[in-house]
Structure 1
Amino acid sequence: MAKFTKKKNGELPAVSTASLPDIVFMLLFFFMTVTTMKDDTLMVDNTLPIADQTQKLDKKDRVVYIYAGKPHERYRSKYGSQARIQLNDKFADVDEVAPYILAEKAKMRQELQPLMTTALKVDKETNMGLISDIKQELRKVNALKVNYTTKEGDAMRNIE
């Protein structure tokens, strides 16, 4: 018959690491679901105009954003105070809009390319000449679906 003996040295048993992969994957999935990705760093003042008849865009993956407005205070010493165009995270000239749109269109899946929408996020103090120049560049590359991003509210407040 076997004899049972107690360990006399009092050592603690080894820590079981069997559940460690489960914990790691649970944390990984948690952070994947709650983390949001930052798209662009806004380098221009962007007080959007107010409109009372608005629609929400359904699919955000089909939208390419162009920002326009006066440079933010941090950038005024380098870029001046005239309204500028921001494409992704850099300032651009009007003639850079068409190549930017073509590059963004090429990044999209083939079936989404005809559905691409260009969203203009333009500060309400920006002059219409810059917006017209942007629209002319969009026409050159046949990007005819243009959306103006606004805040929802009473449009008469734009006059104030």
Structure 2
Amino acid sequence: MSKFKKKKGGGLPPINTAALPDIVFMLLFFFMVATEMREDTLKIKNAMPVADQVEKLDKKNPVSFIYMGTPKDEFQKNFGTEARIQLNDKFADVSEVIAFIGAERAALREELVPFLTVSLKVDKKSNMGIVGDVKQELRKANALKINYATGTGDATSNMK
């Protein structure tokens, strides 16, 4: 009989997980740096009027933007020179505003829905008729918190 016995079925050694937190944080920082927040691509001319008494919107409340103005030069061939509505990244008709507000509300958490503000970014050369039509549709959608976006400056420069 031998003094030394051979180990049977030694198995695999345990996996070293010491570097795992480093790898996780490295991936986290990579995605934080590489991720780009989505912005709307404007397809309309949007030179907003200026005002001297301006307040910023609350960052904690959700805001949906509706852009109005004449299409940019590259889009005038397809959409004409009349003032148009842009919802997110596409041109829309006045009748699509209610569906847009419904989709924006559906994307929010339930407790934030009453705080949804609709910000109208209207070109200063736009006709007020389109703004009135959009406001009527917003009333039908029960979106009553409306904000008019402006730039800061002397309000008398809007007359030029």
TM above 0.5, one fold?
yes
Aligned to 1:55: 55
Q: What are the within-5 Å matches in structure 2 for residues 29-108 of structure 1?
A: 29-33=29-33, 35-59=35-59, 62-108=62-108
Structure 1: where are the runs of 5+ without partners? Answer: 1-17
The runs of 5 or more residues in structure 2 that have no matched partner are: 1-17
Identity between Structure 1 and Structure 2 (%): 59
Q: Which residue of 2 aligns with 1:151?
A: 151
Pairs aligned (count): 143
Partner of 1:111: 111
Letter in 2 for 1:62: P
TM-score for the superposition, normalised by structure 1? 0.81
- Change over 3 Å in CA distance of 1:74–1:151 after alignment to 2: same
Stretch deviating more after TM superposition (25-34 or 114-123): 25-34
Take 2:61 and 2:38, find their aligned partners in 1: how far apart are those partners?
14
| Alpha-carbon distance, 1:103 to partner | 1.3
Q: What does the per-residue CA deviation read over 1:73-101, in whole Å, with 9 as the maximum and x for residues that have no partner?
A: 11111111110000011100101111111
CA distance in 2 between partners of 1:119 and 1:34 (Å): 29
Q: Please give the alpha-carbon distance, in whole angstroms, between the structure 2 residues aligned to 1:25 and 1:150.
A: 41
CA contact (8 A) 2:50 2:151 kept: yes
Offset, 1:54: 0.7
Report the CA distance shift for 1:128/1:91 in structure 2 as closer, same or farther (over 3 A).
Answer: same
Q: TM-score, normalised by structure 2?
A: 0.81
Q: Distance in 2 between matches of 1:154 and 1:135?
A: 26
CA shift in 2, pair 1:39/1:19, >3 Å: same
Q: Distance in 2 between matches of 1:35 and 1:60?
A: 21
1:86-122 deviations in whole A, cap 9, x for unaligned? 0011100101111111111111100100010000011
